[in-house]
A = this chain, B = another copy of it.
Amino acid sequence: MLHQQKIFSPAAENIRVKVLSNRCIKPGHFRLAFRVPVSFPEAVPGQFVHIKVGEGPVPLLRRPFSISNYTPGKIQIIYAVVGQGTKILSHAKRGDYLDMLGPAGKGFCICEEAKTHLLIGGGMGAAPLVFLARKILKKVKKDSSISVFLGFKTKQEIILKEEFAKNSIIGLQIATEDGSFGYRGLVSELFEDYLKKISSTSKFSIYACGPLQMLKTVARLSFDYDIFSQVSMEEIICCGVGACRGCVIKGTAGYMRVCQEGPVFDAKKISWS
């Protein structure tokens, strides 16, 4: 198992940003890009932006979205319309301004010693993994490999397949619950099947983002196979700066703030029961 490294959290800003595009990538799913100052702190995969949607008091709070890509001067998020806030956001047009706070939280630490990077995403959990895969490709040595495992309910809900597929270094496997595409079953089952076939898991590193149940299984597998694993957790985010203590989850050593100590955590530090 590799050692956990210090997860990087640069300074954040609270600014008005200009929407560059907000495209529907498939029914109910959008990719939004906005401009940030070139001086903007470099974002790390797994970090999020906290966006005020709409003007009125409903919805009241900002909404958090993982950064799915960062290049100097530009940030991208990918989101699903699930409620009122994301619905309002989906109406944002090129040229509109959004109030954004970020980059917030702690992102994934890329294990430079690892040779095999395993990225597991469930549903919208695929969003930050695109950014992460890009970063891993840049940082790590040529002889290391990246395998991505994505899970969706059905074929219709698959997102970001092309983004991963276009890079031949990345091994991509997809599971659908109804078997309409790829592996039939949960992505965690697909992942377990994969691990079972592996003789040695030394210098492996796991990065996961998705529904709690999926993360739970992935964490258990990482313990069983003794692989260092990082998981991105969700809770309602309120202040996003660590002040309100509203976003806590249970850790082995007490409550931890998703917006501050997370959203990416060492799976070992989380109380999974």
Contact with B along A80-96 (1 / 0, CB 8 A): 00001000000000000
Chain A at the B interface: mostly helix, strand, loop or mixed? Answer: loop
A175 to chain B minimum Cβ distance, whole angstroms, is: 36
User: Is residue A37 contacting chain B, with contact meaning CB distance below 8 A?
Assistant: no
User: Is residue A58 contacting chain B, with contact meaning CB distance below 8 A?
Assistant: yes
Assign chain A's interface to a size class.
Answer: under 10
User: Is residue A57 contacting chain B, with contact meaning CB distance below 8 A?
Assistant: yes
| Cα of A84 to Cα of B57 in the assembled complex, Å | 12
Q: Which of A43-66 contact B (CB under 8 A)?
A: 56-58
| Cα of A264 to Cα of B15 in the assembled complex, Å | 50
| Cα of A84 to Cα of B58 in the assembled complex, Å | 12
| Cα of A84 to Cα of B56 in the assembled complex, Å | 9
Residues of chain B contacted by A58 (CB below 8 angstroms): 56-58
A-B contact pairs, 5 of them (CB 8 A): A56-B56, A56-B58, A56-B84, A57-B58, A58-B58
